[in-house]
């Protein structure tokens, strides 16, 4: 965390640097946010969540009757804000109650950071894996796993402005922890190594290729190869604090990591002048989505009201447009009530025409659906935790995932996909006499038949020639053509 050599009052500090570094520090010029509402019932401070090297505060909201293995959402406030402020304005408690997930709200309490209450998304000592604020936030996740019994495979993170910058870093630092995240009006992951006042990371002037943005993500946890978190990016088109180009930079890095390319798979229009672009993975599921809100300035998009798709209250940096928390919750899959995604999906074997899979059992699952390259392949319910897919092409790579299905027919989230390659076919071309001599066929009363399939190959002599393909050990079929 960046520290200054002597104390200044908050007002003097903000006036002195806000106008020059507003964009880079994620605070509009001239502004200190209004205080948030009084803490709502249920928001609780936790003081013993770990060693807390980043000196953060932890608050949590656990809805009544939270089921076991519920999801967890970590929500990070912006500069000049607090956990209580974000809790009261963002709309996240509404969906925690509605969809039954735990909510953790870290808080940056410092009054002497580059700007007050800013998460330090730009200093390696605070935003790298295992260090400073990043480690403190991870310790909060560990606390929630141990004490709220949340599902380790359904942990998500979201944040606004400086909180969005830290969200991007956390997704890159801990891709093995977070299933998804939402970056709301913030810079791209690991853009800065010189603190949060690095204007090039918020002004839209940074020039990096998608591969370079992707490398910053990959290098945050060296050696990790996936699966990657699914990522949403929100941005107002009239934001003068975080340039709208930052949406592109965030998109470029995460689509590069996913290997989807930067051309949308599909697009839809939402309320509030919002355009949503989808970037689908190989299974046809959205790996990255972007939400561009026309005319919105710097802040979190909210839409006060009682509708299911309405949330939040307006205030400083909470802007009346669209309920971003609702659409983010949908993207995370928090509205789905089906079984959890299977874990441990593994390729246990393959032949030239088949692939065998296994996975761990899911509580509450009545059966499982198996998907090959995004298409359902089983024609009847699979009640066990293993499956063999047959009739495949030889020497071909396929992508598999599995979803649990409960007794009502509700399909849960899909497991992290795995790739499997069938073996190249082994064929033997020879005359019937030598096919028998090699043990690939047998003869009875002068007629030759392929071992295993027992296909008729004709007379037992050196004049009739066939090509046999081995389908399994000691079993052959006549192909008499390309193997």
Report pLDDT digits (tens) over 196-216. 988 889 998 888 999 999 999
The least confident of 1-15, 335-349, 437-451 is: 1-15
- 95 and 326 in contact (C-beta within 8 Å)? yes
Domain that holds residue 299: 10-332
161 is catalytic: yes
Q: Is residue 337 part of a domain?
A: no
- What total of structural domains would you count in the chain? 3
Residues 107 and 85 grouped into a single domain: yes
- Give me 268's structure tokens: 């839809």
Residue 448 — φ and ψ, nearest 5°? -105, 140
Q: 38: pLDDT confidence band, cut at 50, 70 and 90?
A: very low
Retrieve residue 113's tokens.
């950071």
Residues 92, 73: contact at Cβ < 8 Å? Answer: yes
Q: pLDDT category, 123, cuts 50, 70, 90?
A: very high
User: What value does the mean pLDDT take over residues 359-381?
Assistant: 93
Measured distance CA(408)–CA(39) in Å, rounded = 39
User: Is 402 within the bounds of a domain?
Assistant: yes
What stretches of 36-139 adopt beta strand conformation (E)?
Answer: 43-46, 57-61, 72-76, 102-107
Residues 269 and 399 in one domain: no
pTM higher than the cut 0.85: no
Same domain, 168 and 308: yes
Helix H or strand E segment including 325: helix 324-332
Catalytic residue among 24, 161, 220, 350: 161
* 431 Cβ contact list (under 8 Å, min separation 6): 461, 462, 463, 464, 465
Question: Which helix H or strand E contains 289, and what residues bound it?
Answer: strand 286-293
Question: 303 and 157: one domain?
Answer: yes
Percent of the chain with pLDDT strictly greater than 90: 76
Instruction: Name which residue leads in pLDDT, 2 or 369.
Output: 369
pLDDT over threshold 70, residue 194: yes
Length of the chain: 483
- Domain assignment of residue 326, yes or no: yes
């Amino acid at each position: 965390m960046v520290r200054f050599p002597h104390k200044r009052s908050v007002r003097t500090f903000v006036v002195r640097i806000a106008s020059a570094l507003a964009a880079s520090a994620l605070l509009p010029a001239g502004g200190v946010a209004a205080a948030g509402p009084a803490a709502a019932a249920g928001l609780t401070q936790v003081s013993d969540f770990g060693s807390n090297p980043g000196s953060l505060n932890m608050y949590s909201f656990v809805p009544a009757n939270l089921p076991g293995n519920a999801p967890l959402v970590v929500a990070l406030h912006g500069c000049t804000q607090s956990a209580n402020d974000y809790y009261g304005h963002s709309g996240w408690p509404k969906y925690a109650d509605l969809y039954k997930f735990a909510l953790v709200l870290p808080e940056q309490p410092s009054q002497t950071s580059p700007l007050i209450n800013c998460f330090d998304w730009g200093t390696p000592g605070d935003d790298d894996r295992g260090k400073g604020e990043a480690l403190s936030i991870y310790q909060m996740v560990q606390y929630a796993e141990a004490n709220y019994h949340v599902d380790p495979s359904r942990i998500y993170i979201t944040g606004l402005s400086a909180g969005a910058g830290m969200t991007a870093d956390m997704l890159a630092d801990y891709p093995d922890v977070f299933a998804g995240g939402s970056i709301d009006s913030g810079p791209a992951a690991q853009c800065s190594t010189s603190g949060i006042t690095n204007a090039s990371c918020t002004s839209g002037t940074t020039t990096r290729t998608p591969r370079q943005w992707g490398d910053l993500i990959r290098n945050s946890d060296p050696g990790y190869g996936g699966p990657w978190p699914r990522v949403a990016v929100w941005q107002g088109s009239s934001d003068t604090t975080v340039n709208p180009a930052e949406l592109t930079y965030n998109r470029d890095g995460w689509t590069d990591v996913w290997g989807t390319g930067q051309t949308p798979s599909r697009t839809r229009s939402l309320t509030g002048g919002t355009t949503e672009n989808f970037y689908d993975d190989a299974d046809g599921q959205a790996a990255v989505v972007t939400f561009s809100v026309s005319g919105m300035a710097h802040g979190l998009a909210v839409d006060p009201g009682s509708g299911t798709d309405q949330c939040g209250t307006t205030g400083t940096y909470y802007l009346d447009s669209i309920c971003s928390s609702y659409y983010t919750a949908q993207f995370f899959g928090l509205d789905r009530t089906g079984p959890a995604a299977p874990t441990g999906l593994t390729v246990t074997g393959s032949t030239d025409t088949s692939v065998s899979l296994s996975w761990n059992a899911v509580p509450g699952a009545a059966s499982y659906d198996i998907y090959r390259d995004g298409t359902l392949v089983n024609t009847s319910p699979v009640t066990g935790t293993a499956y063999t897919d047959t009739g495949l092409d030889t020497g071909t790579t396929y992508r598999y995932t599995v979803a649990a299905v409960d007794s009502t027919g509700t399909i849960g989230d899909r497991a992290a996909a795995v790739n499997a390659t069938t073996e190249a076919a082994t064929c033997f071309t020879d005359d019937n006499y030598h096919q028998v001599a090699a043990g690939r066929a047998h003869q009875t009363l002068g007629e030759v038949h392929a071992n295993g399939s027992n296909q008729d190959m004709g007379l037992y002599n050196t004049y009739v020639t066939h090509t046999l393909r081995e389908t399994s050990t000691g079993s052959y079929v006549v192909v008499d053509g390309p193997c």
